[in-house]
């Protein structure tokens, strides 16, 4: 009987430890729009850094039937990058020394619908 109780206690301890390790990985992001998992991962990475100045932002851009994700960089003279839905860098629409980006963005024919997805509000 004592042996069974020890075995059950060990199983319970293993289960509780597994739950404790799993919960932090499920950090639910408070996003204003749905994004691919690779963009969620980029946001989680930003949250592991010190707070940026100005605070980091992620925007969803919809243009010419495609969806892009615009991520602001950390401060001055750095590019702000535009990613596709697979997190491939498309271009830098702005930022850099000139503020005009890298000059590699596609020519968007129509309106670009921009939706704020996330803003780092840790200091708010």
- Confidence (pLDDT) at 23: 47
pLDDT band at 5 (very low <50, low <70, confident <90, very high): low
DSSP string over the chain = -HHHHHHHHHHHHHHHHHHHHHGGGG-----SS---HHHHHHHHHHHHSPPPSSPPEEEEEEETTEEEEEE--SSTT-EEEEE-TT--EEEEEEESSSSBTTS------SPPEEEEEEE--TT-
H or E element in which residue 71 lies: strand 66-71
Domain boundaries, the chain: 30-119
- Confidence (pLDDT) at 28: 79
- This prediction's pTM: 0.76
Q: 9-57, pLDDT tens digit by residue?
A: 766 556 655 555 444 445 678 898 899 999 999 999 999 999 999 999 9
Q: 51-93, pLDDT tens digit by residue?
A: 999 999 999 999 999 999 999 998 889 999 999 999 999 999 9
Q: 105-121, pLDDT tens digit by residue?
A: 999 999 999 999 999 99
């Amino acid at each position: 009987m004592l042996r069974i109780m020890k075995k059950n206690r060990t199983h319970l301890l293993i289960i509780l430890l597994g739950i404790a390790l799993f919960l932090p990985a499920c950090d639910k992001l408070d996003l204003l729009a749905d994004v691919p998992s690779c963009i969620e991962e980029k946001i989680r990475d930003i949250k592991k850094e010190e707070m940026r100045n100005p605070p980091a932002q992620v925007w969803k851009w919809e243009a010419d039937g495609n969806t892009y994700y615009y991520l602001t960089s950390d401060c001055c003279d750095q590019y702000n990058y535009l990613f596709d839905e697979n997190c491939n860098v498309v271009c830098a629409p702005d930022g850099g020394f000139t503020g005009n980006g890298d000059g590699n963005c596609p020519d968007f024919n129509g309106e670009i619908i921009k939706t704020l997805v996330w803003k780092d509000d840790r200091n708010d």
